[in-house]
Amino acid sequence: MQNENSFEDEYDDNANKIELKNRDFSGNLAKAKEFIKRNKPISFLECSFDNANFSDMVFKNEIEFKDCIFYKSADFSNTTFNKDASFENSTFNGYSQFKNSKFKKNLNFKNVFFDRIFDFRESRQNNPEYHGKNLQRPTKMIFDKATFKGIAYFSGRAFAEETSFIHTNFLNSFYFDDATIGNKSNLNEINMDGYENIQNIETCIDHLKNLSKNAGILSLVKKLEKIEEEISNYFINSHNINYNYIEANDETKYLSRTDTARIIDSTYKSMETWAGANSKELPYIDLGKRKGYKLADIKRYMQKNPPHMKLTNDTLIKEVMEIAIPYDKIVSSNQTKNILDAIKLMSENGFTHLPVVKDDILLGVFSEYTFMKQMAQNWIDNKMASNTNLEEFRTYIDISENSEIFLFVKANHPIWKAKQMFLNSLNKEKRLGAIFITNNGKQDGKLLGMLTSWDIAGI
């Protein structure tokens, strides 16, 4: 492989295209950048690089890295490719970063091998080019026969209208959450052989399935659903262990969150939320290099909870709307309702609270307390009349004036957090009367549901 001293000898400055073959740019990346800045199409053929940092650069012309080797890290983050870009047949031995890179024409990753992490994420919300405009996609993207040995991140990426992953191999976790792809794309031949060794495989497939659904690639959706079924059967058969063989005094061996979830017949998400809630029943241990669940703790847990039972926190990790009273089932009133009719409605149904709503927005809460407070005031002033309506109670139905507190959360708020909110209010001056679920988690949001302590008491 030639060094930089022979670069100028063999390069024809009058040529329309720069072609550099069998060159070693290790430790001399500046020289490669010099050639790129000559404003001509350029091909690096069978060249080698060590720490290749091309971040924040703008490639104005076609650029090709064919049969190249990137021995260490390769950083193309925030890089703009105005014309075609190709990395065909190249090898990336280190961390490969293409985060927030922009491809305005064609991108070719055909038959590329990524040994470590491949970061192809795109943070569109932080990119001013995407605000208020139609999303501009590259013309074409090819990942055919590419192999991802390390974790591959595609989160948030706006793929080309025509993107292909034909015979692409994923040997590790891959994430397509919030990514978008054109309906002319071909993802049907993605290869996940050995999926039993892929961490978080259920989550990975779920992301890919959502991406396919949104693009209308229904054939892949069916294929992924079949793989999900195969995975489920595999894990049931391969993790049918007898927990009695786990030594209760074994405090030094750890299992991963995924393996623990499979053994106790739970889900990765359940375990993750359980760890976030600092469960004492089955604690997640994080000691730096040693992470996971102790075998001894797993045995203790399974002795209390037979394998056919789910993790007791499974219900708690669900979202509040799964147990809340939906908006169309909430008995509520508008502000024009007669006060005596409101009291009769509460009495007949055994309610202690009556939400007052206007245009799907909660104005306040009428309760026994608000009535007694208003009655006491008007008894003195002699203003109480039989035709008094809730509009005249505006000051008293305001939730800040109530004897109880009322909180607001979004629909995806987990049940275990809602339960904790009720528990936290027990020793307070005002107890938590109810949790209202709105589309923005605030009082001015559209009311979606209501949760009381009775709804959560049995969990």
Provide the domain count of the chain: 3
Judge if 229 and 253 occupy the same domain: no
What is the pLDDT, as a whole number, of residue 373?
A: 65
Q: Which of 304, 330, 353 is the last residue of a domain?
A: 304
Q: What is the sign, positive or negative, of the torsion defined by CA atoms of 271, 274, 278, 279?
A: negative
CA distance 125 to 107: 23
Range of the domain at 363: 320-457
Cα end-to-end distance, the chain, whole Å: 69
Residues 77 and 137 in one domain: yes
Question: Is the entire prediction scored with pTM above 0.85?
Answer: no
Are 71 and 152 contained in the same domain? Answer: yes
In a domain, 131, yes or no: yes
Residue 196 phi/psi, 5-degree rounding, is -65, -15
Q: What is the CATH number of the domain that holds 436?
A: 3.10.580.10
39, part of any domain: yes
pLDDT at 84: 96
> CA-to-CA distance for 8 and 186, rounded, in angstroms?
43
Q: In whole angstroms, how large is the CA radius of gyration of the chain?
A: 31
The residues facing 142 across adjacent strands are: 108, 164
Domain boundary among 236, 262, 279: 236
- The answer to whether residues 331 and 406 belong to one domain is yes
250 plus 223 within the same structural domain: no
SS3 for 421?
helix
What is the pLDDT at residue 310? 45
pLDDT at position 393 is 62
Inside any domain, residue 101: yes
pLDDT, residue 386, reads: 56
Residue 313 domain flag: no
Query: 362 and 259 in one domain?
Result: no
Phi-psi region of 85 (alpha: psi -120 to 50; beta: other; left: phi over 0): beta
- Residue 2's pLDDT is 53
Neighbours of 188 (CB within 10 A): 13
User: Same structural domain for residues 258 and 339?
Assistant: no
**What distances in angstroms separate CA 411 from CA 251, 268, 354, 415, one per listed residue?**
39, 21, 21, 10
Distances, alpha carbon 120 to alpha carbons 123, 153, 174, 198, 418, in Å: 10, 6, 11, 19, 36
Q: What is the pLDDT of residue 42?
A: 96
Q: Which of 304, 328, 350 is the last residue of a domain?
A: 304
Q: Is residue 315 part of a domain?
A: no
- Do 198 and 252 belong to one domain? no
Domain match, 271 and 332 both: no
Other CB atoms within a 10 A radius of the CB of residue 168 amount to 24
How many CA atoms lie within 13 Å of 133's alpha carbon, on the beta-carbon side? 10
pLDDT per residue, tens digit, the chain (459 aa), is: 555 444 444 556 667 899 999 999 998 999 999 999 888 999 999 999 999 999 999 999 999 999 999 998 999 999 999 999 999 999 999 999 999 999 999 999 999 999 999 999 998 655 545 443 445 678 899 999 999 999 999 999 999 989 999 999 998 889 999 999 888 888 878 888 766 667 778 788 888 988 888 888 888 888 888 877 776 655 544 444 454 544 445 566 777 777 777 677 666 666 776 666 667 778 888 877 677 888 778 877 777 765 444 444 455 557 888 888 888 888 776 766 677 777 787 777 777 778 888 889 988 888 776 667 666 665 544 455 556 666 666 666 677 766 678 899 999 888 877 887 887 777 677 788 889 999 999 999 999 999 888 877 666
Q: Which two tokens stand for residue 123?
A: 């943070």
Token pair belonging to 96 = 């490969």
How confident is the model at residue 447, as a pLDDT? 93
Q: Is residue 108 part of a domain?
A: yes
Are residues 154 and 254 part of one domain?
A: no
Please indicate, yes or no, if residue 437 is contained in any of the structural domains. yes
**Half-sphere exposure of residue 185, counting CA atoms within 13 Å on the CB side?**
31
Beta strand segments in 115-227, E:
118-119, 140-142, 147-148, 152-153, 162-164, 169-170, 174-175
pLDDT at site 311: 43
Residue 155 in any domain: the answer is: yes
> Residue 196: its pLDDT value, please?
62
Contact present, 135 and 114 (Cβ < 8 Å)? no
Q: What is the DSSP letter of 284?
A: P
Do 327 and 258 belong to one domain?
no
Same domain, 290 and 336: no
pLDDT at 454: 80
- Are the C-beta atoms of residues 333 and 356 closer than 8 Å to each other? yes
For residue 334, give the amino acid letter.
Answer: N
